[in-house]
Amino acid sequence: MIANKEVQHLENSAVKLTVTVEKDAAKKQYQDLLANYAKHAQIRGFRKGKAPAKILEQKYGEGIREEATVKLIEESLKQVFEEIEEKPLPYSQPELADEKELGKIEDGEDFTFAVVYDVYPDVKLGSYEGFEIEVPEVKVTKKDEDRELEKIQEQNSMVVEKAEGAKAAKDDIVTVNYVELDGEGKEKDESRREDFVFTVGTEYNLYKFDDDIIGMAKNEEKLIEKSFPEDYDYKELAGKSVKIKVVVTAIKEKQVPELDDELAQDVSDKYETLADLRKDIRRQLEESLEKKFREVKSEAIFDKIIEGSELAVPTSMLTAELENSWQRFVQQSRMPEDQLVQFLQIQGKSKETVFEEWKPQAERSLKVQLLMEKIIEKESPEVTDDEVEAEIRKQAEENGQEFDELKEAFEKNGLMEMVKNDLRNRKGFDLLIEKNKIKTGKKADYLDFMQDKQ
């Protein structure tokens, strides 16, 4: 059936596959389909299945030719892909090249077509050892513990109505009704807002009248005059002066619990004292710090590995990575996708512009994955069944699950190999740390380091 096949390598791990199908096989594909249509065709003036082939060709020839061509290409590609190494990536659909140059399969000549698709990239791994990288000196301090405790206090605080006659103050949560007045002192209905809630001092309101609200009592009305600079955040108010009538309808305050054993017990039954809670906070902070150190070391080492290696990320692989990132972005936003797109449009962005922003990091991430695969293939770090079980046991403890139940779930859903691969990657990273020199640099603050501000 296949008379000839030729693979031409293009840029970015793409190939052009040219296939020539023997003339007899090409013509047979067309004639077989034509005969099949002839058996079932109902054409006026002829009994069902008795219309001559020439009549069918006159009436349906173009459609039959197209269908036969598609089937011939599909069957040919299926055969060729079993024979060649350059198979398409799962997310790379072969596309016809030079479609206008396609011949007619019923002409009695060899039929030639070409498709373009992405293949797994050829990765030429450079050196991955002997580098020297520097990381800052960072330690968890009491200040870091105190900051986390303050967050816990905030999370366990209560919002209550302020006492009768109390005035609004910074950090209070107020509810207001407001409306803008025109030059004649009339209310502009389109600017009216009822039951608008914000925290005084955050300036999370259109007119940023936080300071003007301070000192107002519940049910008090006030006429506020505001002038805005030319570079004001909201363009509709930039360079303008306005009058706003504001009525405070509710004033609430946040009551923060004391830092004591009772708070620790409220957080979790596993804590009996504040000291227990503080100890666990330090453990979590140190684990986060160690994880961050691994990320920073990994990025620094892979920057050097990428620089000395050769590989081109296929377009379809990059597109799939960006689409996966987009789906995670949608899930994290907790909005329907169309609503998120509208929100981006308000900011002057689109899904396409977001992809352009993400593209460099997505490409780097794929290069890291591909290079790590090569390193693991070369070093062959061993992962035992005992290590896999230990990892599942650890996950069970962290998530408050029974080990046997979690292990059964992993086995039932075919996730055991995924755990093994994760462990293999960790060992691969540990190996990179061993093969390269890590130098301690200047001291850095924990929070700055964790937020990449050092």
- The answer on pLDDT for 31 being more than 90 is no
pLDDT at 56 over 80: no
pLDDT of 136 above 90: yes
| Dist. CA 20–CA 113, nearest whole Å | 7
**In whole angstroms, how far apart are CA 140 and each of 134, 385, 440, 447, 452?**
19, 35, 16, 9, 16
Predicted pLDDT of residue 218: 96
* pLDDT, mean of residues 339-346: 90
Please give the share of the chain, as a percent, with pLDDT higher than 90. 79
pLDDT computed for residue 100 by the predictor: 67
Q: What is the pTM of this model?
A: 0.72
| Residue whose C-alpha is closest to residue 112's, from 81, 69, 147 | 69
pLDDT of residue 41: 62
Average pLDDT, integer, range 321-325: 96
CA-based R_g, the chain, Å: 34
Tokens representing 210 are 């936080």
Q: How far is CA 354 from CA 186, 332, 362, in A?
A: 43, 15, 12
Q: Report which residue type is found at 195.
A: D
Q: How far apart are CA 23 and CA 106, in angstroms?
A: 8
Query: Amino acid identity, residue 364?
Result: R
How would you list the strands of the sheet with 14-21, edge to edge?
A: 2-9, 14-21, 111-118, 95-97
**pLDDT surpassing 60 at residue 49:** no
Residue 108 is predicted with a pLDDT of 72
Confidence class of residue 105 from pLDDT cuts 50, 70 and 90? Answer: confident
> Which candidate, 88, 125, 113, places its Cα nearest to that of 13?
88
pLDDT score for 68: 85
DSSP state of 191: G
Q: Which of 3.40.50.300, 3.40.190.10, 3.30.70.1050, 1.10.10.60 is the CATH number of 2-118?
A: 3.30.70.1050
Q: What pLDDT, on the 0 to 100 scale, is given for residue 29?
A: 86
User: SS in 3 state form for 318-363?
Assistant: HHHHHHHHHHHHHHHHCCCHHHHHHHHHHCCCCHHHHHHHHHHHHH
Compute how many other C-beta atoms are within 10 angstroms of the C-beta atom of residue 248. 21
Amino acid 274: pLDDT: 96
pLDDT above 70 covers what percent of the chain?
Answer: 93
Average pLDDT over all residues of the chain = 91
Give 207's strand partners.
none
Instruction: Give me 379's structure tokens.
Output: 């070093």
| Structure confidence at residue 47 (pLDDT) | 59
Between 250 and 109, where is the model more confident?
A: 250
- Collapse the DSSP code of 222 into the 3-class scheme (helix H, G, I; strand E, B; otherwise coil) and give the result: strand
Residue among 29, 17, 19 at smallest CA distance from 95: 17
Residues in the chain: 454
For the chain, which residues make up each domain, given as ranges?
2-118, 132-143+270-450, 158-255
The string of pLDDT tens digits covering residues 246-295 is 999 999 999 999 999 999 999 999 899 999 999 999 999 999 999 999 99
Summarised one tens digit per residue, pLDDT across range 182-191 is 989 999 999 9
67-71, 103-107, 296-300: which range is least confident on average? 103-107
Distances (CA, A) of 308 to 12, 120, 127, 128, 317: 18, 20, 7, 9, 22
Token pair of 375, please?
């390193």
pLDDT in tens, 150-165: 999 999 999 999 999 9
- The CATH T-level fold of domain 158-255 is Chitinase A; domain 3 (3.10.50)
DSSP-derived pairing of the beta strands 111-118 and 95-97: antiparallel
* pLDDT of 44 strictly over 70: no
379, 428 Cβ separation under 8 angstroms: yes
pLDDT of residue 38 exceeding 80: no
Amino acid identity for residue 435 in this structure: K
Q: Bridge partners of 387? A: none
| Distance from C-alpha of 410 to C-alpha of 327, rounded to nearest angstrom | 24
Banded model confidence at residue 369, pLDDT cuts 50, 70, 90: very high
Give me the architecture of the 132-143+270-450 domain, per CATH: Orthogonal Bundle (1.10)
Residue 52 and residue 35 in contact, taking contact as beta carbons nearer than 8 Å: no
* Torsion of the alpha carbons at 389, 392, 398 and 399, rounded to the nearest 10: -140
**pLDDT range class, residue 42, cuts 50, 70, 90:** low
CA distances from residue 151 to 155, 156, 257, 271, 316 in whole angstroms, order as listed: 6, 9, 11, 17, 43
Helices 274-307, 351-379: inter-axial angle, 10-degree rounding: 80
Within 8 A by CB and 6+ apart from 260, the residues are: 274
